[in-house]
Amino acid sequence: MQFPADLRYTKDHEWIKLEGNTATIGITDFAQGELGDIVYIDINTVGKMLSAEAVFGTVEAVKTVSDLFLPVAGTILEVNQSLTAQPELVNTDPYGAGWMVKVTVVNTADVEALLTSVAYSQLVH
C-alpha cells in the first residue's frame, strides 16, 4: 500500500493535496482496498461551502455505501467527471485519476494539521 509523502491524510481515510488555496481530495489506497470494487460515486455538493468533516458525498462499493468527509473547510469547486463513467478509477489510481473533488480551502494552515504519510501509515497498520 502506498501513502505519498506530498499528501496529507485524515483518520477517515481521505487524502488532500494543496496547491495554493485549492485542494484536490480523494480516498486513500487503504480505503479503496477496504471498500472493494467501487461501482458508483455520488457527489452533489458543487458550489457549497462545507465545514471540516462535513459529508461531501458517498462512495458505493459492491457491498457497502460510505460517506466521504471533507478534510478541511472549503467550497466544492469541481467533481471528477471521469468517475461517473469509470468509478473503478478510485480502485486503480486513488491518488491520480481517481481523485474526487477540488475545493477552495478556507484556511490552508488546516491542511498542515492533518496526518503526514508516516502518521497515516501507522494508523492503518
Grid cell for residue 120: 497515516
d(CA 99, CA 82): 9
User: In sequence order, which residues have a C-beta less than 8 Å from that of residue 110 and are 6 or more positions away?
Assistant: 52, 71, 72, 73
Q: Residue 2 has what pLDDT?
A: 87
pLDDT at 1: 85
pLDDT in tens, 15-26: 999 999 999 999
Q: Express each pLDDT in 57-102 by its tens digit.
A: 999 999 899 999 999 999 999 999 999 999 999 999 999 999 999 9
Residue owning grid cell 508516516: 118
pTM of the model: 0.96
Half-sphere exposure of 117 (CA within 13 A, CB side): 10
Q: Is residue 110 predicted with pLDDT exceeding 90?
A: yes
CA distance 20 to 47: 19
Per domain, the residue ranges of the chain are 8-106
CATH number for domain 8-106, candidates 2.40.50.100, 3.30.70.120, 3.20.20.370, 3.40.640.10: 2.40.50.100
- Residues 27-39: pLDDT tens digits? 999 999 999 999 9
